[in-house]
Structure 1
Amino acid sequence: MGGVSVDSKVDFTAHAVLHKWPSLGNQRRPDRASYQVSEGTLDECISAFMEKPAPTRHLYDIHTAPQPPLVTDILSPEHIAELSRLREYL
């Protein structure tokens, strides 16, 4: 049977914002707030994230409306990479 189940559909056209954390020595600064880098659809923000150099991706996250169970309001770098792979299959 294969395929994607109804519960795992993700709306990649949903509004999203890519944020970057200030860093020191390529580490997040916990004493600083993240700031907006780009805004658009979830698809556009995932693409913008994936264009970043792999060694700096841990400094980014995406803020969007939750879409349970696969999309939370703040997507971690690991979660974004997973959604990028999922997007390739859909």
Structure 2
Amino acid sequence: MFRESVPIAYDAPADLKKWPSLRNERVANRTPYLVYNGTLADCIRLLLAKPIKQISLYDIVTERQAAFDSNTLSPGDAAEIAMRKDFPKA
């Protein structure tokens, strides 16, 4: 979850990680692996470009910011952040 009124550093370093899966569901006793390392904005764009059936298998890990409750963002958080007016479109 994030706070809408607090600025977000979209150029902060971030990792897009994917959980190992079985029948399109996360395998809980496994560790997610790195798919992409770049900026928070890039990771959000890449995550939202994934097929909708697979999007729940991903997380974005970034440095802690005042706007975030955690340093791990869920796909739902990423989608909401992408809709912010200040999100860099390209």
Contact between 1:10 and 1:71, CA under 8 Å: does it hold in 2?
A: no
From the two aligned structures, give the one with the greater helix fraction.
Answer: 1
Cα deviation for residue 8 of structure 1 reads: 1.4
Structure 1 stretches of at least 4 aligned residues deviating more than 2 Å after TM superposition: 69-72
Q: Provide the aligned length of Structure 1 versus Structure 2.
A: 83
Q: TM-score, normalised by structure 1?
A: 0.85
Which residue is equivalent to 1:47? Answer: 45
Which residue is equivalent to 1:32? Answer: 30
RMSD of aligned C-alpha atoms? 1.5
Task: Give ranges in structure 2 of 5+ residues lacking alignment.
Answer: none
Cα deviation for residue 71 of structure 1 reads: 6.0
Task: Point out which structure has higher relative CO (alpha carbons under 8 A, 6+ apart).
Answer: 2
Q: TM-score, normalised by structure 2?
A: 0.85
Which residue is equivalent to 1:15? Answer: 13
2:59 aligns with one of 58, 61, 67 = 61
Contact between 2:62 and 2:71, CA under 8 Å: does it hold in 1?
A: yes
Alpha-carbon distance in 2 for matches of 1:33, 1:53 = 21
Larger Rg: 1
Aligned to 2:35, what secondary structure does the other structure show?
Answer: strand
User: Comparing 47-56 with 62-71, which one deviates more in the overlay?
Assistant: 62-71
Task: Give ranges in structure 1 of 5+ residues lacking alignment.
Answer: none
Q: Which amino acid in structure 2 is aligned with residue 51 of structure 1?
A: A
User: Comparing 52-61 with 71-80, which one deviates more in the overlay?
Assistant: 71-80
